[in-house]
Amino acid sequence: MSSRYAEVYEHWKRDPVGYWGEAARDVSWFEPPHHVFDPEQGVYGRWFVGGSTNTCYNCVDRHVAAGRGKDPAIIFDSAMSGASRIFTFYDVLQEVTAVAAVLQNLGVTKGDRVVIYMPMVPEAVFSMLACARIGAVHSVVFGGFAAQELASRLDSARAKVVIAASCGLEPGRAVAYKPLVDAAIDLAETKPSHRLILQREQLRVDLRAEHGELDFAELVAAEREKKSEVACVPVLATDPLYILYTSGTTGKPKGVVRDNGGHMVALQWSIRNIYGLKPGDVSWTASDIGWVVGHSYIVYGPLLAGVTTVLFEGKPVGTPNAGTFWRVVEQYRVNVLFTAPTAFRAIRRDDPEGKFVSGRDLSSLRMLFLAGERADPETLHWAEALLRIPVVDHWWQTETGWAIVANPMGLEVFPVKHGSPTVPMPGFAVDVLDDGGKPLERGVLGNLAIRLPLPPGCLVTFWEADDRFRETCLEAFPGYYKTADAGLIDDDGYVFVMARTDDIINCAGHRLSTGALEEVCASHPDIAECAVVGVADAIKGQVPYGFLVLKNGVTRSESAIIQEVVDLVRERIGPVAAFRTAFILPKLPKTRSGKILRGTMRKIADGEVWTMPATIDDPATLDMVSRALQKPVYISADR
C-alpha cells in the first residue's frame, strides 16, 4: 500500500489519543477537552470529555467571524417547485438566529428534544442548526414515513416541539404533511406543546391556535425584523447533538445518539481527507436530511468545513428528466457529488447512453461518491465511463455517522477494485470474525466487526437505551462493535461488503426492517403468519416481498386481502417502504424447529441456485413459494 494513507493509519493505530487530539484542533472550543478519550465514561468510553463547544457556532458563526460572511453556504435548488436561492454564511446566521429565538420563546432550552418533519427546504436546515445553537437535541424524521412511525419517534424522544412543513413535493403530487403530524400527535402519548408549521404555497393549511399550531415563517420573520440575538449555548462535547432513528430488527426504531464534539472532529477530518474538499468548494449530496447521509454531508460536514453545500429537492429522474443532476452540477459548479448507487441506476435506466450529459459543462466535478448500499460493479463502470472522474464507493452506517471504509481522496487515491469500498479509515480497525468471534483469514467471508472503542463521530448509545445498544451491537463479539454486515478483506487489505447478517434490507438506499414490515402484515385480521424478504430489484437494489398465510376459515378474495395489507404497510410505515408485492401461501417454509426459511425464499425469488435445507419441515412449502412467484405480481395504485 502506498505511503500517505499507511502513514496516517499507522499514526492513528500507534497513538489514537494523540491522533484525534490533534484533529480536534480544527474545532473551536469554548473550553478545550480535559481528556481526549475517557474509557470509563459512557458505554464504551467517550471522546473529548470536559470540552465545551457549540456545533452551530462551528458551522456558521466562526466562518462569519473569519470574514467569510458573504461566501455562499447553502445553495437551495428545487426541481419540484423551480425555486432556487443562495444563502451566504451571513444569511444562514440571520435565519438560524431567528429560528433559535422562536424556539427559545416557546420555552425550548438545552437538552429539550425537537422533532423536525420537513422536506428538503432551507428552513429544515435552519431548524437543525437553531436547535444546535441553543443546545436542544433535534430528531429529523424522513417525510416518507407514516404517522405511526412519526408517533413512535415523538414518544421515544419525548419531543417538546415539532417543526413541520405543510407538505412535501413528490413527482406529480404534494404530500400533505400536516394531517400526518396531527395523526401522529393523536397516536402518541407525548403531546408537544407547539407545532411550528412552514406553510408552502403548494398546499397551505389551516392552523389551529388551540392546538399550539403556529406559522413558522411569520414567527421567524418577526424575529428577523427585531434582529434578535441568540448566543450559541455552550454544550459539552459529550452532550447529544441529535437523535436519528433507524431501522432495527423489530418494529421499534433505534435512536442513534450523536454527540457534539466527536461528531465535529470526525466530520471535519472526513471532509478534507476522504472527500478532498476545502473551504470554498461546492459539495452536493443528493440524499435527504431525513437520513444520516443528509445529516453528515448535506448539513454538518460541509458547513463545519466552510464548504458550500447544495440542498436539492427533487429526484434523479422524472424531475423533469434524467439530466437534472447534470443541470445542477453545471449551474452551481459542483466539485464533489455524493449519492446512492440507486440514483445512478435510475439515471442509467432512463438515459442509458448518457445523452443528457452532452452539452453540459461538468468540468468542475472532481469526484463522485457512492454509499448507502452495495455499489454494483456495473453501475460503477457506467458512471466512470460517463463522467470520466474517480467514482468512489464508501461503506458506512447510520450508527457510524461517517465512512468506515473508503478510498481517501484527500490523502491518496487507491486503485479501484470494483465491488470494494477500499480501505478502513483511521479510527476503524475492521476485522472479519466467524460466528464465534474468532478472526478469520484474509479472503474468507465472515462478520465485519470494528474493534472498540469506536472513533469520534460514531454513535455513543441508543437514546435512553444503553442496554439495547450493548445487546444489539456489542455483545455478539466482545471487544467489538458488530456492524451486522458480512464481508471479507483481501490480501491487499481491501474490504468487500457483501450483505447484511440481520433482517435489514436496503431499498433505494433506504434501510428497512423486514421484521417491522412483518409486524404490520401480521396485524391484518385475516393474516395468521407471514414472512417478508428483500428481493433483488434492478433500480432499488432490493424491494420487500410479502408471503402471507391466511387464518383458517378466511374465504375473502385473496387480491382484496393483499390490497389491504399493502395499504396497511403504506399507512403504518409509509410509502418509503415501497411495499407493493405480496403472495398468499397455504403454509410458510420452516425448519423443524419452526424457523422461517427466509434465506431460501429470497434465493428462489431472486432466481438463484438453492439447495433444499436439511432441516426443512415440509419440502412442499418451497414449491409453494416458487408457484406463488409465478402468479402475476399485485401492485397497489392506491395513494
* Residues making contact with ligand AMP (CB under 6 A): 246, 292, 371-375, 393-398, 421, 485, 497, 500, 506, 511
The Cα 272–Cα 406 span in angstroms is 13
- Of 16, 21, 42, 119, the residue at the interface with ligand COA (CB under 6 A) is 119
Q: Between 577 and 601, name the residue whose CB sits nearer to ligand COA.
A: 577
Give the residue among 582, 621, 626 at the shortest CA–CA distance from 607: 626
Q: How far is the CB of 198 from ligand COA (least distance, A)?
A: 14
Q: Which does 421 bind (CB under 5 to 8 A by kind): ligand AMP, ligand COA, none?
A: ligand AMP
Q: Between 374 and 570, name the residue whose CB sits nearer to ligand AMP.
A: 374
Asked whether position 144 contacts ligand COA by CB under 6 A, the answer is: yes
Q: Between 306 and 341, name the residue whose CB sits nearer to ligand AMP.
A: 341
Q: How far is the CB of 243 from ligand AMP (least distance, A)?
A: 14
Q: Between 9 and 369, name the residue whose CB sits nearer to ligand AMP.
A: 369
Q: Could you tell me which stretch among 242-250, 385-393, 479-487, 504-512 binds ligand COA (CB under 6 A)?
A: 504-512
Residues in contact with ligand COA, counted by CB under 6 A, come to a total of: 27
Q: Which does 288 bind (CB under 5 to 8 A by kind): ligand COA, ligand AMP, none?
A: ligand COA
Q: Between 140 and 167, name the residue whose CB sits nearer to ligand AMP.
A: 140
The per-residue DSSP string of 388-457 comes to -S-EEE-B--TTTSS-SEE--TTT--PPP-TT--BEEPTT--EEEE-TTSPBPPTT--EEEEEESSPPTT
- Of 51, 122, 168, 589, the residue at the interface with ligand COA (CB under 6 A) is 168
The Cα 535–Cα 515 span in angstroms is 15
Are 357 and 386 in contact, with CB atoms under 8 Å apart? yes
CA 283 to chain CA centroid, nearest Å:
17
Tell me the three state secondary structure of residue 47. strand
Half-sphere exposure of 165 (CA within 13 A, CB side): 24
Asked whether position 154 contacts ligand COA by CB under 6 A, the answer is: no
- Of 79, 293, 521, 573, the residue at the interface with ligand COA (CB under 6 A) is 293
The H or E element spanning position 504 is strand 504-507
Asked whether position 400 contacts ligand COA by CB under 6 A, the answer is: no
Q: How far is the CB of 340 from ligand COA (least distance, A)?
A: 4
Are 524 and 565 in contact, with CB atoms under 8 Å apart? yes
Residue 587 CB neighbours (<10 A): 13
- Of 322, 578, 596, 628, the residue at the interface with ligand COA (CB under 6 A) is 578
CA distances from 166 to 118, 195, 202, 402, 446 (A): 8, 11, 9, 31, 46
The Cα 295–Cα 287 span in angstroms is 10
The Cα 124–Cα 131 span in angstroms is 11
The Cα 534–Cα 522 span in angstroms is 17
DSSP at 359 = T
Q: Between 122 and 372, name the residue whose CB sits nearer to ligand COA.
A: 372
Interface with ligand COA in residues 324-343 (CB under 6 A) = 339-340, 342-343
Asked whether position 310 contacts ligand COA by CB under 6 A, the answer is: no
Q: How far is the CB of 448 from ligand AMP (least distance, A)?
A: 9
CA 237 to chain CA centroid, nearest Å:
23
C-alpha cell at 160: 417538546
Q: Which does 304 bind (CB under 5 to 8 A by kind): ligand COA, ligand AMP, none?
A: none
C-alpha cell at 244: 436519528
Asked whether position 349 contacts ligand COA by CB under 6 A, the answer is: no
Asked whether position 576 contacts ligand COA by CB under 6 A, the answer is: yes
Asked whether position 27 contacts ligand COA by CB under 6 A, the answer is: no
Asked whether position 367 contacts ligand COA by CB under 6 A, the answer is: no
Q: Could you tell me which stretch among 73-81, 288-296, 382-390, 498-506 binds ligand COA (CB under 6 A)?
A: 288-296
Question: Rounded to the nearest 5°, which phi and psi values hold at 607?
Answer: 70, 20
Q: Between 246 and 600, name the residue whose CB sits nearer to ligand COA.
A: 246
User: Going by C-beta distance under 8 Å and a sequence separation of 6 or more, which residues neighbour residue 445?
Assistant: 432, 486, 487, 488, 498
Asked whether position 598 contacts ligand COA by CB under 6 A, the answer is: no
Asked whether position 393 contacts ligand COA by CB under 6 A, the answer is: no
The Cα 485–Cα 504 span in angstroms is 10
Q: Between 324 and 447, name the residue whose CB sits nearer to ligand AMP.
A: 447
Q: What is the CA radius of gyration of the chain?
A: 24
Asked whether position 288 contacts ligand COA by CB under 6 A, the answer is: yes
C-alpha cell at 88: 451566504
Q: Between 80 and 159, name the residue whose CB sits nearer to ligand COA.
A: 80
Q: Omega of the bond prior to 619 within 30 degrees of 0, cis?
A: no
Q: Which does 398 bind (CB under 5 to 8 A by kind): ligand COA, ligand AMP, none?
A: ligand AMP
Asked whether position 317 contacts ligand COA by CB under 6 A, the answer is: yes
Asked whether position 323 contacts ligand COA by CB under 6 A, the answer is: no
The residues of the shown chain that bind ligand COA, judged by CB under 6 A, are 119, 143-144, 168, 170, 175, 287-288, 291, 293, 315-317, 339-340, 342-343, 346, 372, 508-510, 539, 575-576, 578, 639
